[in-house]
Amino acid sequence: EAGVAQSPRYKIIEKRQSVAFWCNPISGHATLYWYQQILGQGPKLLIQFQNNGVVDDSQLPKDRFSAERLKGVDSTLKIQPAKLEDSAVYLCASSSGTASYEQYFGPGTRLTVT
């Protein structure tokens, strides 16, 4: 079974530029999550999709961050414009969303904003 795929793995941009991350979850997984992990901290949920609907985006900075999940499968997370404090690892995870609480994480995208 293929795992959660993310791209790119690394990205360096200047502040005020825009950036997009892509995630392909495990096939058949209805629930998809985007997390932000700042150095020295645990992952913080940004947005959670159930199929292609948003379940929770309470911690997503909506003035600069946006996310979509096309046809309930792949997802993209965009930051526009980026700030220095957005430097972090962005993790995508998926789960079957039924009785299992287990989330499967991708390798993450390390974003550096200079």
Partner 1 sequence: DQQVKQNSPSLSVQEGRISILNCDYTNSMFDYFLWYKKYPAEGPTFLISISSIKDKNEDGRFTVFLNKSAKHLSLHIVPSQPGDSAVYFCAASEGDNFNKFYFGSGTKLNVKP
Q: Under the rule (CB under 8 A), what is the footprint of partner 1?
A: 4, 31, 35, 40-45, 48, 50, 55-56, 91, 93, 95, 97, 101-108
CA dihedral (60, 65, 70, 76) in degrees, to 10, reads -110
Alpha-carbon Rg for the chain in angstroms: 13
Q: Which lies closer to partner 1 via its Cβ, residue 49 or residue 65?
A: 49
Q: Which lies closer to partner 1 via its Cβ, residue 59 or residue 80?
A: 59
Nearest distance from residue 103's CB to partner 1, in Å?
A: 7
Question: Which DSSP state fits 86?
Answer: G
Q: Which lies closer to partner 1 via its Cβ, residue 72 or residue 107?
A: 107
Query: Cα angle at 6 between 74 and 111, to 5 degrees?
Result: 120
